[in-house]
Amino acid sequence: MSYVDEVFDMVVAKNPAQPEFHQAVKEVLESLRVVIEANEEKYRRDALLERLVTPERQLLFRVPWVDDKGQVQVNNGFRVQFNSAIGPYKGGLRLHPSVNIGIIKFLGFEQIFKNSLTGLPIGGGKGGSDFDPKGKSDREVMAFCQSFITELYKYIGADTDVPAGDIGTGAREIGYMYGQYKRLTGLYEGVLTGKGLSYGGSLARTEATGYGLLYLTEEMLKCNGRDIKGRTVAVSGAGNVAIYAIQKAQQLGAKPVTCSDSTGWIYDSEGIDVALLKEVKEVKRARLTEYAAARPSAQYHEKKDGEHGVWSVKCDIALPCATQNELDLEDAKVLVANGCFAVAEGANMPTTMEATEYFQANGVLFCPGKASNAGGVATSALEMSQNSERLSWTFEEVDSKLQGIMVNIFHSLDEAAKKFGCEGNYVAGANIAGFLKVAEAMTAQGIV
């Protein structure tokens, strides 16, 4: 049996009931096969793959807090410190009822390669909780965040592990967590990113993932002889990534016509009104029905099982920006039949493996999230730099660094794909380029 297959079987056996983690490992190892086989003896001797798929540390902890009725609630807290070969652990905290250790491990594993691709010195980690901030009062969210950090603060720090936001963790949650960290440690340091501007946050961090997604998409199109201008774009999600992806797509002359949340989706023939979307989602934290109510050109559709949602709309470019496995094979077939020629992932692993393979087999330009959504973590690393030098850069300075990073990411995965004989396969290119740097650092640092 090949080394790759052996290690994958070991992952499944040692990590039962973690399908998302298996899926992420399989996708990465499959595309690394050519590189692994060329160095098999060395990697086997060093158990490099076994070490790569095993987190350096996994923290699971109790998070008790008191709700507004005086009732004690208990959630599970997680932090997986996956790989620190190239820098301190870095990765977001997801707050969503679907969170479990398998989801956090899949995200942490992906984060290793994503962070490596940015070219910045950051290792891979991820964390979160099955706490649902939706429908909770500000006081309840604060009680949860304070309890969460009261345990986690022992294991994080500006030079060891620097968490950030993710689904359910926005500026409000980061603020409460930062306050509690500072209170417990007495340290005013860049231990979290995604902070508010008044206490060490970076300009352009809010926009970074969505903007970065479009910078990379534009470069991918350009290098394949296409222009983004005038293209119709289907976007899923209506959160941080989706909103700023829609905004940048418009700035680049494209026309995004959809967005979605967990209960329904919008088709707006005039193009999405970003100001209205922000008002509904960022200010009122309301449902998309409110967007449709305020906009005559918009149609609202309730989410229904078996239907294709935003992917049923005719588009040139699809940007999945909501959550994992939200675009499956049937959706991919509809998109291809409707003439979609490029897909770039804003969310983490939103496309199933079958859908990815279908896109690739049908000549669709496909960029995986670990490359195309890396703008968020890259800008988080720029926030760390600013905190370390106790300076704040201008919006333009951060945005232009972000643009440079995204263009570089595209070229490094494009070149890796060409070098290893799979030109145009950006999934393989991203995994190979991300892996090589981490593998070299792990090898140089010995058996740790």
- The residues that touch ligand NDP, with contacts defined as CB under 6 A, are 165-168, 209, 237-242, 261-262, 321-323, 346-348, 373, 376
Least distance in Å: CB of 91 to ligand NDP?
A: 9
Residue identified by tokens 């003439």 is 339
Taking the least distance from each CB to ligand NDP, the nearer of 322 and 432 is 322
3-state secondary structure 150-172: HHHHHHCECCCEEEECECCECHH
Taking the least distance from each CB to ligand NDP, the nearer of 20 and 161 is 20
Least distance in Å: CB of 243 to ligand NDP?
A: 8
What count of Cα atoms within 13 Å lies in the side-chain half-sphere of residue 400? 4
- Residue from 283, 288, 241 nearest 262 by CA: 288
48 token code pair? 């490099």
Bridge partners, 95 (sequence order): 129
Q: What is the CA radius of gyration of the chain?
A: 21
Taking the least distance from each CB to ligand NDP, the nearer of 360 and 373 is 373
Least distance in Å: CB of 169 to ligand NDP?
A: 8
> Measured in Å, how far apart are the chain's first and last C-alpha atoms?
26
d(CA 22, CA 192): 29
Taking the least distance from each CB to ligand NDP, the nearer of 295 and 370 is 370
- Residue from 240, 244, 245 nearest 217 by CA: 245
Least distance in Å: CB of 271 to ligand NDP?
A: 18
Least distance in Å: CB of 446 to ligand NDP?
A: 32
Q: In the 8-state DSSP scheme, what is residue 349?
A: S
Taking the least distance from each CB to ligand NDP, the nearer of 323 and 360 is 323
Q: What single string gives the DSSP state of each residue in 192-257?
A: SSS--GGGT--TTHHHHHHHHHHHHHHHHHHHTT---TT-EEEEE--SHHHHHHHHHHHHTT-EE-
Least distance in Å: CB of 207 to ligand NDP?
A: 10
- Catalytic hit among 90, 105, 126, 136: 126
Taking the least distance from each CB to ligand NDP, the nearer of 35 and 344 is 344
Q: Is 136 a catalytic residue?
A: no
Residues marked active site are found at 126
